[in-house]
A = this chain, B = another copy of it.
Amino acid sequence: MSTAHQQRSRATRARILEAAKTCFAREGYDAASVAEICQQAGVGKGGFYYHFPSKQALFLELLNGWLAELDALLAAEQAKAGSAPNRLMAMAGLMPQVAQAAVGQLPLFLEYLLQALRHPSIWKATIAPIRRYRRLFARLVAAGQSEGAIRQVEAELAARVIVSLALGDLLQDVLEDRGRRGGRQAAGSLELLLTGLEKKGTA
């Protein structure tokens, strides 16, 4: 059981995180000021720095939370059965949806990437999952190959292509409507690619 202290504390902490998410998405990491986040969260500076040691720490926690959601969703999908190509379709198709659902505003995703380039701690947190997904996709491709459903291409390369497609589609969506909606297409693109990966004469 939690005390009233802890309950209130958790609530403000969550409000700060939520406010930060929208502020970062709207204005970017640098331009979004701590004061603005505080105002949006209905909290004073004291409250902010009581819960987070720095602006960067807050950002990193936001990123980690997002990655955790993504992991959970992919893990759930991975548990399901089905042929390798179908599972690939289902899993890869999740990426933009997850980005959309978890982040809310997609520009935040770009912000993650950009910050990852400059801050080693953020970079590690970002690159590790991407590599994990790539390995996962590679295993699925290999599985599809031993099932005889997928052409004999380099599995690593195919995995890289899948990730590229997901990332690229995300980017094009973001750019087209400047991050207002996002995550609409992608399914068709992947279908196209996977059809190409199928063994010839199958369709």
Contacts and interface: CB of A to CB of B under 8 A. Distances in A.
A111 B113 contact: no
A163 B172 contact: yes
B157 A188 contact: yes
Q: Give the bracket for the number of chain A residues in contact with chain B.
A: 35 or more
Given A126-B175, A161-B192, A193-B161, A114 B117 contact: no
Number of identical monomers bound together in the oligomeric complex: 2
B169 A164 contact: yes
Interface of A: 27-28, 30-31, 107, 110-111, 113-114, 116-118, 123, 126-127, 130, 153-154, 157-158, 160-161, 163-169, 171-172, 174-176, 178-179, 185, 188-189, 192-193, 195-197, 200-201, 203
B31 A192 contact: no
A184 B130 CA distance: 18
21 contacts: A30-B31, A110-B113, A113-B171, A114-B114, A123-B175, A127-B175, A154-B188, A157-B189, A157-B192, A160-B185, A161-B189, A161-B192, A164-B164, A164-B165, A164-B172, A164-B189, A165-B165, A167-B167, A167-B168, A168-B171, A193-B193
A203 B201 CA distance: 11
A99 to B, nearest CB: 13
Contacts of A110: 110, 113-114, 117
A25 B171 CA distance: 19
